[in-house]
Amino acid sequence: MKDGLFSEHFSVNAQGHLALDGLDLVGAAQEFGTPAYVISEDAVRGQCRAYMQAMKDAFGDRFKVSYASKALCAKFIYPIVQSEGLHADVVSGGELYTAMQAGFPASKLHFHGNNKSDDELRQAVDCGIGAVVIDCMDEIGRLNAICGQRRRRIPVLLRIKPGVDAHTHEFISTGHNDCKFGFGIEDGQAYEAARLLRGCEWLDFCGLHCHIGSQVFLKEPFGVAADVMIRLLAELRRDGLDLRELILGGGFGVRYMPEDRPVPVSEMVSYLGDAVRQSCRMYDTPLPEIVVEPGRSIVCTAGVTLYTVGSVKAVPGARTYVAVDGGMPDNPRFALYQAQYDACIANKAAQEKSEIVTIAGKCCESGDLLGRDMHLQPAQRGDVLCVFSTGAYTYSMASNYNRLPRPPVVLVSGGRAQVAVRRESYADLVRNDLL
């Protein structure tokens, strides 16, 4: 195989099959059925360690790495990231519930969301959440009242729009001004929210948060955002607010295609360290505790999705469709963002990728594709297709469209595979149908 094997976790075994941490993926397809998500625990741990080490090098002992649950949220992920020393963020009552069910310490969670319900806020306060990241004005009073009723003071941060264009797909860029998240600086909303927070007896205003976008391949936007945030921290400090924490979000790009060149974690974090210290000097303000919130870059390249090829249809004058037994319900990212993936036929991994094909799903929808014009070995019915870099935003964004049951998540640990999340059954599909 020419390309595609872009991490040391993949290899081609003696049978010519693709293997993940030594696990034969053709065998895994037989054992667990397809479609199936397969994720390498070692690869996830490797990314966690890379962040922890880089942050330690850049910031000494005062930092946090917080796993953004939304990238892949299921119980099994929490003990893994926790044992590597990470915190985590959640964005809904459901993610919070999952983390708590997994035994993750609530004090190491922070809670995001642009429209948290009162129930979600109560749930967060009652479990002893580490912090709530406030996203809109009315949340301030609502949360203060909930905390007051319980006589429990909780740390809060303000989500700020630093107004940075992160040069990424418009749908996944959340830092610029016309965006539903957080408070603007130039329009005065951030100062107004800070003023309101001062008057809240039950809210311990401890810091600021920003997130400039996702799948960002440049370092500079993070430096610009850090500068904007530290200038604001310094201003608020002059007004008497002692903000000790600065969360700079996630969004660090990962490799989907062989030609992608994401900034290595160590380089990105060291750049961030320099940028942060320089801004602190410039605005004459002490270094806050710096937190990063990577999601995709923790889990994405650790995971693959396995499918079985059902039909190969050459449409004369157009293209060849290789149809698989999953599609947009297990991975909506092509349909949503025209996301590109690299793939390989796992049982022909040693062969040349001599064809250019379009991979189609099995849904009744023309846009149900996993990729257009992809390089692939010659495909035939029964082959096992492996799509790379699907550890993030696939299982967590999966649906039951066309009533396809969600695939299982298989965790590979040291070459041994276990089902971490069971495949949904048809009975699961009708479980909540009452009439």
**Which residues form the interface with ligand LLP (CB under 6 A)?**
68, 70-71, 112, 172, 174, 211, 214-215, 249-252, 293-297, 333, 337, 393, 397
Active-site pick, 206, 210, 280, 364: 364
Residue reference for tokens 């418009």: 170
We find the least distance from the C-beta atom of residue 103 to ligand LLP, in angstroms, to be 22
What is the distance between the alpha carbons of residues 39 and 410, in angstroms, rounded to a whole number?
6
Identity of the residue, 149 or 338, whose beta carbon is nearer to ligand LLP in the bound complex = 338
Q: Which is nearer to ligand LLP, 215 or 347 (CB)?
A: 215
Residue 114 or residue 402: which is nearer to ligand LLP going by CB? 114
What Cα–Cα distance (Å) separates residue 190 from each residue in 45, 183, 246, 285, 408?
37, 5, 15, 19, 43
How far is the C-alpha of 53 from the C-alpha of 269, rounded, in Å?
10
**Look-up: residue for tokens 């850090």?**
226
Q: Which is nearer to ligand LLP, 268 or 275 (CB)?
A: 268
- Nearer to ligand LLP among residue 10 and residue 395 (C-beta): 395
The 10 Å CB-count burial string (b at 16+, else e) for 191-201 is bebbebbeebe
What angle separates helix 118-127 from helix 137-150, to the nearest 10 degrees?
Answer: 50
Total residue count of the chain as it appears in this document: 435
Nearest distance, CB of residue 385 and ligand LLP, angstroms: 20
Q: Is 364 a catalytic residue?
A: yes
Which CB, 17 or 223, lies closer to ligand LLP?
223
Q: Regarding beta strands 343-345 and 384-387, do their DSSP bridges make them parallel or antiparallel, or are they unpaired?
A: antiparallel
Cα distance from N-terminal residue to C-terminal residue, the chain: 52
Q: How far is the CB of 301 from ligand LLP (least distance, A)?
A: 12
Give 233-241 contacts, CB < 8 A, sequence gap 24+: 233/208, 233/283, 233/285, 233/288, 234/283, 234/284, 234/285, 236/194, 237/285, 239/194, 241/194, 241/198, 241/205
User: Known catalytic residues?
Assistant: 364
